[in-house]
Structure 1
Amino acid sequence: MSIWYLSTGKVTLITGASSGIGAGTSVLFAQLGAILALNGRDVENLKKMAKECADCGGGTEPLLVPGDLTDEDTVKRVVEEIITRFGRLDVLVNSAGILTIGGIEKSDLATFDRVMNINVRSVYHLTQVCVPHLIKTKGSIVNVSSVNGQRSSATALVYCMSKSAIDQFTRCVALELAPKQVRVNSVCPGTVFTEIHKRAGMDEEQYATFLKACNVCHPLGRAGEVDEVARSIAFLASDAASFITAVNLPIDGGRHAKAPTLLN
């Protein structure tokens, strides 16, 4: 495995590890020799991911710290269990998040609160609790944002707002922690093959139509793969990125640079 993604021995907490980008990142970090703590709300899926990580990571079992991170006590418990088991924390990957469909006319306040609590508030709180430990190890944080933090959508208002918040959170915290040698970056994926759109309510036909549109809106002509995002997370978390902080890195086939018209 390339030294550019070297993560051997780094104690790494990955949230949203039971599916999607979080799951793919967990497997890659296991292959790279990281010491894993995995969080997710789906305990059965989390156990499956732990077995997959152990199988490809030389038999080392990840520490499972399941739970809903919108609950403040759960956040504190998760971090306490990691420090009790491993004595330190080197990397935090904030991958947990949800997508909802709807604009100002169809997104009620309950939807707003749910998305912002999961996508923003829980990230804020977990990071806050992890920071003292990351300062001790001069560690790094990688947040999973989205191209929708930079590009607008008439049908995903609250999601776009939440990811814009994560982009700004990344930059602000990076500046604050830079004197303490803790790096903070984010990845901003375009459309990636996960279940997030179906969980937001798209049926198979709608999803197929959506993916065809992605071939147009992504200049590289396709949606992305989970592993393409995971590799970028691994790079930003690694010592190979030791002079990179406060970056919101697009992993989107060029979508962030494209004007919002089919003519460009």
Structure 2
Amino acid sequence: MELSAIVTGAARGIGRDVVLRLRAAGYRVVAVDIRPAVSDLAEAGRVVPVVADVTADGVPPAVIDRAWTEFGRLDLLVNNAGRFLRRPLLETTDDDFDALFAVNVRPAFRFSRAALPHLIDTRGCIINTASISGLVGIGNQSVYAMTKGAIVQLTRQLAVECAPRGVRVNAVAPGAVDTDFMAEARAADPDPAASLAATLSNHPIGRMSTSDEVARAIVFLAAPESGGITGTILSVDGGYVAR
């Protein structure tokens, strides 16, 4: 039996590596991203790229239907799409707030709601990409941290709600990850070199995680070997929250 998955935010970084790792594990995947680069992942009968804005109203049910049409089942939803904002609260606008929640929270809610009937049928699972920013206080990340805190709590609530229906729900909480996503954020800092040094000093392993390390954690949480794990927020953070 071949399993199938949907991965949002799949064009680069963690999402792209999740698609590659799921493929290696035998999954068929619908890979979703607003960036046309997601089409580079196309593989006949195995990876179906969908260029779409996950914030758009009709996209979640349309993507779920696409997975059903292509593969006839859905076993895994990975809610990975998101964006970052580092800004002091006094400089954060209402538009910043609305835009960040629109990308980081609402799609996870909508995709989960649309996917659940299929996941109940297959006793599948949902895995969300949260962040250490949703677990601990980090300066100048107030709204971003709020969105990731919402993902943490969505994960726990859905885990309890869906357990009787056989659906597991977990999340990964990355620390700093060596991706374009992080590099772009750092480039906007007044002193990128000092920002990098501060980041590394806060991670006991002395380096950023790789996107593949986060992807491996997601595939682990999806595997049958993790059948007893639900409602867990798995930190992939180089020891950040253990300090």
TM-score in terms of structure 2 length: 0.95
- Whether 1:64 and 2:56 are equivalent positions in the alignment is no
The amino acid that maps onto 1:46 is V
Structure 1, residues 152-200: CA drift from partner, whole Å, max 9, x if none?
1221111111001100000000000000110000000000001223444
Contact kept in structure 2, 1:103 and 1:158, CA below 8 Å = no
Instruction: Describe how 1:32-43 pairs up with structure 2 within 5 A.
Output: 32-43=25-36
Looking at structure 2, the residues matched to 251 and 61 of structure 1 have their Cα atoms a distance apart, in angstroms, of: 28
Q: Which amino acid aligns with 2:221?
A: L
Task: Quote the residue 2:39 is aligned against.
Answer: 47
Q: Is the 8 A contact 1:24 1:227 kept in 2?
A: yes
Indicate whether 1:116 and 2:108 are aligned: no
The residue type paired with residue 94 of structure 2 is: L
Q: CA distance change for structure 1 residues 113 and 248 in 2, over 3 Å: closer, same or farther?
A: same
| Amino acid of the structure 1 residue aligned with 2:13 | G
Cα drift, residue 83 of structure 1: 1.1
Show the 5 A alignment for 1:73-88: 73-88=58-73
Q: How many residues align?
A: 243
The CA deviation at 1:27 is 1.0
Query: For the residues of structure 1 that align with 2:45 and 2:190, how far apart are their CA atoms?
Result: 41
Q: Is the 8 A contact 2:39 2:51 kept in 1?
A: no
Aligned counterpart in structure 1 of residue 226 of structure 2, from 241, 249, 253: 241
What is the CA distance between 1:201 and its match in structure 2?
Answer: 6.6
SS at match of 2:89: coil
2:141 aligns with 156
Q: 1:64 Cα deviation (Å)?
A: 1.7
Which residue pairs with 1:107 in the alignment? 92
- Contact in 2 for aligned 1:197/1:207 (Cα 8 Å): no
1:18 aligns with 2:3: no
Moved over 2 A (4+): 197-211
- Asked if 1:137 corresponds to 2:122, the answer is yes
Aligned alpha-carbon RMSD (Å): 1.6
Residue in structure 1 matching 2:156, options 171, 180, 183 = 171
**Contact 1:220–1:253, Cα closer than 8 Å, also in 2:** yes
Percent identity between the two aligned chains: 35
The aligned counterpart of 1:216 is 201
Q: CA deviation at 1:60?
A: 4.6
Q: In the alignment, which residue of structure 1 is the partner of 2:210?
A: 225
Q: Does the 8 Å contact 2:34/2:52 carry over to 1?
A: yes
User: Matches of 1:198 and 1:105 in 2, distance apart?
Assistant: 24
Measured after TM superposition, the shift of residue 233 of structure 1 is: 0.2
